[in-house]
């Protein structure tokens, strides 16, 4: 389950990611709660997600190309410095009591740009710091680590909002980014091939898109990752409304909701990490997609906090298990020199999240948060069943 930790570079990467992402998840909780306090509107929560994720549609392909032509460690350090600046800026605006809704939107857009470069670079760098035989384990363990930080950061963030306020949480996150910057500095990464650097950025992007288009497997996997992003992920943005209006558990309870999704996600990711030789991954991936939708539907109908916490374990496990399997299949079918660009197209799916989130946010104004989430979960289940029945090539993927 922890085979990849024997690699020195991966250990540094793992430690830095663990500690830095705790701050990121604390910040994520505070970010949504700040917008809810400023507006009290589910529609504005949906717009916040749009401003965060829309830049991904524009900049992620450039991020993937940069990840295939620059030293990935240095590129990650630059993005971490940028994230630190934005977190400290938002902290200053909140602590001086001058923050406005447009400030939050602008900083969210800035973070989206940073993440559009950071995320494909992180994923592509895994192949630089572990042996090929340990790549599947490293991908799953990295996913488990990120979801462990969701547990810790989500619960701590909900508590710290009460203790030091949202401005204090943003300050803590800004300082936490320095940890990953430091651990990256301790790593030794081999240089990229010189011929990659001689190609123009746009040509590199075009080469990556052509490579994906020529592979039925890669193209199918990337398209199949869309449904959970559009129909499944918006529930995370709507959790403040569930906490406040449906379950009546306030901001601390909201942090616990986030934490329970993280617990389930960590369980799912560790399961994948411990089953690197799993057979019929394509079939398992589609079954998990259906289970994810079923658990999300059940959560949307619950009005009991204890039951909701338990259901979110299943939601988190299904969400992360599905994406980890999809990610693993993509990386194992992509060549080393194209991996950054393949992963950048994969992360374009995250830019599609606002399509579902904005629709969900506005729909809550008309039919309520529970019926909105129920409808999206039901569509996710239907699509999963259709893929399982009518796409035999996906079922056959190992």
DSSP 115-134: HHHHHHHHHHHHHHHS-GGG
Task: Provide the angle, in degrees to the nearest 10, between the axes of the packed helices 101-129 and 305-333.
Answer: 50
Residues 226, 221: Cα–Cα separation, whole Å: 9
Looking at residue 143, its pLDDT comes to 72
Residues in the chain: 398
Residues 51, 44: Cα–Cα separation, whole Å: 10
How many CA atoms lie less than 13 Å away from 73 in the CB half-sphere? 19
Question: In the 8-state DSSP scheme, what is residue 199?
Answer: S
Q: Which of 13, 136, 138 is nearest to 73 (CA)?
A: 13
Check if the beta carbon of residue 377 is closer than 8 Å to that of residue 158.
no
DSSP 352-365: THHHHHHHHHHHHH
Domains, the chain, with CATH or none: 3-190+202-395 (1.20.1250.20)
Question: In the 8-state DSSP scheme, what is residue 250?
Answer: H
Looking at residue 195, its pLDDT comes to 46
Residues 33, 158: Cα–Cα separation, whole Å: 9
Check if the beta carbon of residue 316 is closer than 8 Å to that of residue 265.
yes
Whole-model pTM above 0.95?
no
pLDDT along the chain (398 residues), means of 10: 78 84 83 85 79 79 80 86 91 90 90 86 78 73 73 77 86 86 82 56 81 82 80 84 87 81 79 70 87 94 91 89 81 75 76 73 86 92 86 74
Check if the beta carbon of residue 341 is closer than 8 Å to that of residue 204.
yes
Looking at residue 290, its pLDDT comes to 92
Give the Å distances, CA to CA, from 147 to 79, 150, 321, 371, 397: 21, 5, 11, 27, 26
Give the Å distances, CA to CA, from 69 to 256, 308, 333, 397: 41, 45, 20, 30
Residue 34 CB burial class (10 angstroms; 0-12, 13-18, ≥19): buried
For the chain, the C-alpha Rg in angstroms (whole number) is 20
């Amino acid at each position: 389950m922890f085979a990849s930790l024997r690699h020195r570079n991966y250990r540094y990467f793992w430690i830095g990611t663990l500690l830095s992402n705790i701050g990121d998840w604390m910040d994520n909780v505070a970010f949504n709660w700040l917008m809810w306090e400023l507006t009290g509107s589910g529609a504005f929560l949906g717009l916040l997600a749009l401003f965060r994720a829309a830049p991904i549609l524009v900049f992620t392909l450039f991020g993937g190309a940069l990840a295939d032509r620059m030293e990935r460690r240095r590129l990650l350090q630059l993005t971490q410095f940028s994230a630190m600046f934005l977190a400290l800026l938002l902290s200053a605006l909140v602590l001086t009591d001058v923050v406005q809704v447009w400030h939050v939107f602008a900083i969210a857009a800035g973070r989206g740009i940073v993440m559009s470069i950071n995320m494909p670079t992180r994923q592509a760098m895994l192949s630089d710091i572990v042996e090929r035989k340990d790549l599947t384990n490293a991908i799953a363990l990295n996913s488990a680590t990120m979801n462990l930080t969701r547990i810790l950061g989500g619960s701590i963030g909900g508590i710290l909002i009460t203790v030091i306020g949202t401005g204090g949480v943003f300050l803590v996150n800004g300082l936490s980014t320095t940890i990953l910057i430091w651990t990256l500095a301790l790593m030794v990464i081999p240089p990229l091939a010189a011929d990659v650097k001689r190609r123009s950025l746009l040509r590199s992007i075009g080469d990556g898109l052509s490579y994906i288009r020529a592979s039925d497997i890669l193209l199918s996997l990337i398209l199949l990752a869309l449904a959970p992003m559009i129909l499944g992920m918006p529930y995370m943005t709507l959790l403040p409304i569930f906490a406040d209006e449906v379950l009546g558990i306030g901001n601390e309870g909201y942090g616990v909701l986030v934490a329970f999704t993280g617990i389930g996600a960590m369980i799912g990711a560790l399961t994948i990490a411990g089953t690197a030789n799993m057979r019929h991954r394509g079939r398992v991936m589609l079954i998990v997609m259906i289970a994810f939708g079923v658990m999300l539907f059940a959560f949307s109908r619950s009005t009991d906090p204890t039951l909701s916490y338990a259901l979110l374990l299943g939601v988190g496990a299904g969400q992360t298990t599905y994406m980890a399997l999809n990610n693993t299949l993509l990386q194992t079918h992509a060549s080393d020199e194209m991996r950054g660009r393949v992963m950048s197209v994969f992360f374009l799916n995250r830019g599609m999240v606002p399509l579902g989130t904005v629709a969900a946010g506005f729909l809550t104004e008309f039919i309520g948060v529970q019926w909105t989430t129920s409808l999206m979960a039901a569509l996710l289940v239907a699509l999963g069943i259709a893929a399982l029945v009518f796409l035999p090539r996906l079922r056959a993927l190992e």
